[in-house]
């Protein structure tokens, strides 16, 4: 089974405007509400590709109830911990020629809720996949990912971590199956600006030396590079299309890679499905559906186990 953890999920209120004028009344051209959060995004794309997962995390208030209901409509299993105070945050995403985001804070997470999450994670079994994605809320210890992986160490669970800087560096000793920094995040970890593919590959290999198995580096319009545990480096530019949205593209790439790997056992197929999923989401106003992803593969879906 696949499990995703999102500590601070959200409802994303996505609106489109012809122009955003500060200090004036602005009227929307389009508006939608979607479930949000990096782990949530991974679960939704997995569901769209026919793979079951369990979304773990915390929810509160009427927005938390709505989040659960929406994820159920998208075919996602949830096992959230209910918080008695506060409410699941609302994030506002504004598309008006450029993207502007206003992210809510989310509810405080008490110690008893953290212990309840640990209990759910303790039930994971050998061969399961655990996706840890996104930042840690200020109300939790900054080393939460490290605490979780230390607790689960030696149990045969495959970890996928999509996080930044120290949050990622500190878990490499637990040998995550996959990590997915983007080009800029990879450079930040080493205090460098990486401008060439050779530099990116060299620094991805440094992360492998520190413990990572597969390193997938996204580079926005320049595509992606996979430095696998074994085998040759894979690099490709993305499919052509109009970029409408950057939110969730990296999460879609993670989900596509995992679906491709589980479906074929091939890192190359996993990379290509990840690339297609990330691009399809970037070409849409929200997370891509199965048809949009498959259309970018250029190969029959069944060759990817779909």
pLDDT confidence band for 48 (50 / 70 / 90): very high
pLDDT tens sequence across 83-129: 999 999 999 989 888 888 999 999 999 999 999 999 999 999 999 99
Q: Total structural domains in the chain?
A: 1
User: Among 237-241, 248-252, 295-299, which stretch is predicted with the lowest mean pLDDT?
Assistant: 237-241
Q: How many residues does the chain have?
A: 306
pLDDT confidence band for 293 (50 / 70 / 90): very high
Q: What is the CATH number of the domain that holds 43?
A: 3.40.1190.20
3 CB-side CA count, 13 A: 21
What is the structure's pLDDT at 103? 92
Residue 113 domain boundaries: 2-304
What is the structure's pLDDT at 236? 87
User: Which residues are designated catalytic?
Assistant: 251
Q: Kindly write down the DSSP assignment for every residue of the chain, as one continuous string.
A: -EEEEESS-EEEEEEE-S---TTS----SEEEEEEESHHHHHHHHHHHTT--EEEEEEEEHHHHHHHHHHHHHTT-EE-PEEESSS--EEEEEEESSSEEEE--------HHHHHHHHHHHTT--TT-EEEEES---TTS-TTHHHHHHHHHTTS-PEEEEE--HHHHHTTGGG--SEE--BHHHHHHHTT----SHHHHHHHHHHHHHTT-SEEEEE-GGG-EEEE-SSS--EEEPPPP------TTHHHHHHHHHHHHHHHHS-HHHHHHHHHHHHHHHHTSSSS--HHHHHHTTSS-GGGGT-
What is the structure's pLDDT at 212? 95
């Amino acid at each position: 089974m696949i499990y995703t953890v999102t500590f601070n999920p959200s409802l994303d209120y996505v609106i489109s405007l012809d122009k955003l004028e500060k200090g004036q009344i602005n009227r929307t051209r389009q508006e939608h509400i979607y479930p949000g959060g990096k782990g949530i995004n991974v679960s939704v794309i997995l569901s769209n590709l026919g793979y079951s997962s369990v979304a773990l995390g915390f929810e509160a208030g009427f927005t938390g109830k709505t989040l659960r209901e929406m994820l159920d409509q998208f075919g996602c299993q949830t096992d959230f911990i209910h918080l008695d105070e506060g409410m699941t945050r609302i994030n506002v995403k504004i598309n008006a020629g450029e993207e502007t985001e206003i992210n809510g804070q989310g509810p405080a997470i008490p110690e008893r809720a953290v212990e309840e999450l640990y209990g759910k994670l303790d039930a994971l079994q050998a061969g399961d996949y655990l996706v840890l994605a996104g930042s840690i809320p200020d109300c939790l210890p900054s080393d939460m990912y490290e605490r979780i992986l230390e607790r689960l160490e030696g149990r045969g669970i495959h970890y996928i971590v999509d996080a930044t800087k120290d949050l990622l560096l500190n878990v490499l000793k637990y040998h995550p199956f996959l990590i997915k920094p983007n080009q800029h995040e990879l450079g930040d970890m080493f205090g460098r600006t990486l401008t060439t593919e050779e530099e990116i590959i060299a620094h991805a290999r440094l992360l492998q030396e520190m413990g990572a198995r597969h390193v997938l580096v996204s580079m926005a319009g320049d595509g992606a590079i996979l430095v696998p545990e074994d085998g040759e480096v894979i690099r490709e530019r993305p499919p052509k299309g109009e970029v409408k949205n950057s939110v969730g593209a990296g999460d879609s790439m993670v989900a596509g890679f995992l679906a491709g790997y589980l479906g074929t056992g091939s890192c190359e197929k996993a990379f290509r499905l990840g690339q297609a999923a990330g691009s399809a989401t970037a070409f849409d106003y929200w997370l891509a559906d199965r048809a949009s992803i498959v259309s970018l593969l250029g190969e029959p879906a069944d060759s990817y186990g779909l």
